Amino acid sequence: MDMKCIYCHSKTQVTNSRSKTLDSSVWRRRQCTTCQAEFSSIELPDYSKSLVVKSTSGKLFAFSRDKLFLSLHKALGHRQDVLNSASAICDTVVAKLIRQNDQEKGLIKASSLARTAHETLKRFDSLAASTYKAYHRHYIN
């Protein structure tokens, strides 16, 4: 399905495109074929449809980038740049999880998710890592 113009809902064409390697997103500049308006779009993979988190009890849940972002945001709440930091760390954690997940395509253990997030935070901000660990201690040794 083609992206529609945000103004008149007609077809658009891509005039420029750039890939980001860290989070697998694609930035595109688009132009409407009817009203000639230009706007940007960002395409992201839908991880909730392709990644599953397995809890310690064995239950399976769709991966939620938003849930990960919120837990990182809570841990980084003391920082001035909390939104940018949480977003960047979230992208880093997701990329690491996907790289680590080669053997079991799409299945992520909740403990692996928590440990990866904690280790990433530890390298960035030790206070945030301690806060995160306090909320996720049942997953982190």
Q: Tell me the torsion sign for CA atoms 84, 90, 92, 95.
A: negative
Please tell me whether residues 68 and 111 are part of one structural domain: yes
pLDDT exceeds cutoff 80 at 104? no
The mean per-residue pLDDT over the stretch 28-44 comes to 95
Task: Give percent helix, percent strand, percent coil of the chain, each to the nearest 5.
Answer: 40, 25, 35
Whether 30 contacts 39, CB under 8 Å: yes
129 & 96 share domain: yes
Number of domains comprising the chain? 2
* End-to-end Cα spacing for the chain: 46
Same domain, 33 and 95: no
Residue 1 confidence class, pLDDT cut points 50, 70, 90? low
Residue 138 pLDDT grade (very low, low, confident, very high; cuts 50, 70, 90): confident
Q: 35-58: string of b/e by CB count within 10 Å (b at 16+)?
A: eeeeeeeeeeeebeeebebbeeee
Indicate the DSSP class of residue 55: P
Domain that holds residue 16: 12-43
If asked whether residues 77 and 37 sit together in one domain, one would say: no
pTM: 0.78
Same domain, 29 and 56: no
Query: Confidence band (pLDDT; 50, 70, 90) for 130?
Result: very high
Q: Do 33 and 80 lie in a common domain?
A: no
Tens digits of per-residue pLDDT, 66-100?
999 999 999 999 999 999 999 999 999 998 988 88
Task: Express as a percent the part of the chain with pLDDT over 90.
Answer: 74
Task: Estimate the crossing angle of helix 110-124 against helix 65-75, to 10 degrees.
Answer: 40
| pLDDT, the chain, mean | 91
Whether 93 maps to a domain, the answer reads yes
Whether residue 37 lies inside any domain: the answer is yes
Least reliable range by pLDDT among 9-23, 65-79, 107-121: 9-23
